[in-house]
Chains A and B, each alone.
Chain A
Amino acid sequence: MSETLTFARAITEGLRSALESDPKVLVMGEDVGRNGGVFRVTDGLQKDFGEDRVVDTPLAESGIVGTAIGLALRGYRPVCEIQFDGFVFPAYDQITTQLAKMHYRSRGRLQVPVVIRIPYGGGIGAVEHHSESPEALFAHTPGLRVVSPSTPQDAYDMIRAAVASPDPVLFFEPKGRYWSKGEVAAGPYPTAQAAGGADVLNRARIARPGTDVTLVAYGPTVATALKAADTLGAEGTSAEVVDLRAISPLDVTAVAESVRRTGRCVVVHEAPTFLGSGAEVAARVSEECFYSLEAPVLRVGGFHAPYPVAKLEHEYLPSVDRVVDAVDRVLAH
């Protein structure tokens, strides 16, 4: 059984499923209760599950994550909402210094199954600090899982797996895709171990098969890569689109398998390319696919400049044209 849902609603239903399946699951954040979140992702959950389980917190991100860690140590599974990407940094210390390391430093005695949902990325004409893509900063930290869905079905499956997983998960939601629609099928709620090892948290998926070039993307840029593949297809170039789903762990096996077939690779993300997740993909592809590569790996992404004013964001963000241009360049080799 499946139904058509927006991307945002798919997450809502995933959270609802988690709250129904596990009495230890909590949702907490600024405005997530009565208001249902500024993007309405938690709409209706407080009404159905009460103020103790869907918690309007004080306006303090470090406090949200820090108390979530304490709740997790007491046996709860908090799902924190950070209202916008650019507001996560007050919690950066708690996330990287405490949350990421608790399981390790306790030699596995203490689990902290905290999920941190972060609406991220640009393209919605927002003001400063509301359009950023800080995922690589977290993926660089051992102990955290970092994922980003690109379809409503993955959004539903991945939020449920993230909540059920025994590890902390940074869940990056491409806010520009919140209103896109797709079919979502429900399934059984995963166990903790099954969730941690679930494909949706660990394995890339082939979003579109192709033979001439591999486009690697995740979250918001999967749609961009698919559109570029359409354009390229009309020109006679067959592009394969790999949706990473997870940046940590990075599914190097799937990417390498694709690039060995196509011989060419272009990575697309909204974050600045310098030291971004695309740099890691390029390094891994050069290690794994050296004798299959017909051209250097290219990256298409944000520039090494702060996210620009909204009136310029479409020149900053990786566009279909820039992806096609990069593909033309790797094909020219």
Chain B
Amino acid sequence: MSDLTAPAAPAPAAPAAGPGRKDGSERWTQSLRDITGGSAMISILAVVFALVVGAILIAFTNERVQETAGYFFSRPADLLQAVWDAVAGAYSALFQGSIYNFRAQNFLTAIRPLTETLTFATPLIAAGLGVGLAFRVGMFNIGGRGQMLIAAGAAGYVAFAVELPAGIHLIVAILAGLLGGAIWGGIVGLLKARTGAHEVIVTIMLNFVALYLIQFLLRTPGALQAPGSNNPKTPPMLSTAVFPDLFGPRYNLHAGFLTVIAATIFVWWLLSRSNLGFQFRAVGQNPSAARVAGINVKNVYLYAMAISGALVGLAGINQVLGTVTTGFGSGIDAGIGFDAITVALLGRSKPWGIFAAGILFGAFKAGGFSMQAAEGVPIDIVVVVQALIVLFIAAPPLVRAMFHLPTPGTTRKPKISAVKASKSNEVVAK
């Protein structure tokens, strides 16, 4: 798992390695090759290609398209028109639900979808940071669901059952949630460090343990259940512990987004500026070498999983103190723990990469709901598109082969195909 941090991204060889002197025009072609085959281009093409596949699926399953396909040879224009209507309708609804609503009366209403996107992105970024941090240490944290639930339970309990002055209450609730997530993640790190238990098994198992624990607490009066109610649901959070709205009550975006920005800066600082982060990365690259270098690998596993759990827990905190403040049930995690894995992969386990990936997926989520409402296209299509994007971004040689793009860092060699060239490049990179 050592190369999880940069999945199959061939490090561009230094330009100086190019053969001999070049005149001006050659240098231009070379730059063009590097740009068109580079990683930004790959990302854009991956998104475009995923959207095209999504469009094909939308068109194929559209009833009007199927109808008009029946008499394609007598009136082909009907079919094309139906395909266009289905696809354009769906994607424009997706765009208007996630970024800018052209039909709105004024700018303040039109921009509302963008704030929705950021609201959806908030927990995705937090959980993505947690999963990504674990990846950097060479561990796979599939336990997002459990860590989110425990953190949500802890933060939620403090938020509705403890009375504190405004401000302090919010901070105490956040700390309680972070602690809950850190403990639930830390158990995994501790077991891995002390007994060698595989983190994949333990996180999966702890997901179920957390789910049933929260379900039990939710139907136990005096624990998480709302007093005087039979529903497995908590009472609403006290207003002193709720994240304030960032732009007033018209928008759902809350101050939780600021905590996520802070978390991103923290993870960036931790990984690239701190001593502990250096140890994390060393263990992630090669645990044996790290041990030989005097790093306490066992402690690294423990700390990394605890921090990872706390970050994923932040997603749970944001859910209960920001997004759903009227009381929550056991479905509060909303699958974010698993979405976070794809967010972390798309962000290549780098803090700001995850931030961007979280916003992209938040946009898909916000837009997906309005697409489902407006055009009747199931929101599941968004999941397909997201998966395809990650798949293509993870496989640059495939995208290059599909679009006949050059491999950056290589010069024109007509006999070697793009795939083979990138393979040999890969060997050099290793």
A, B: real partners = no
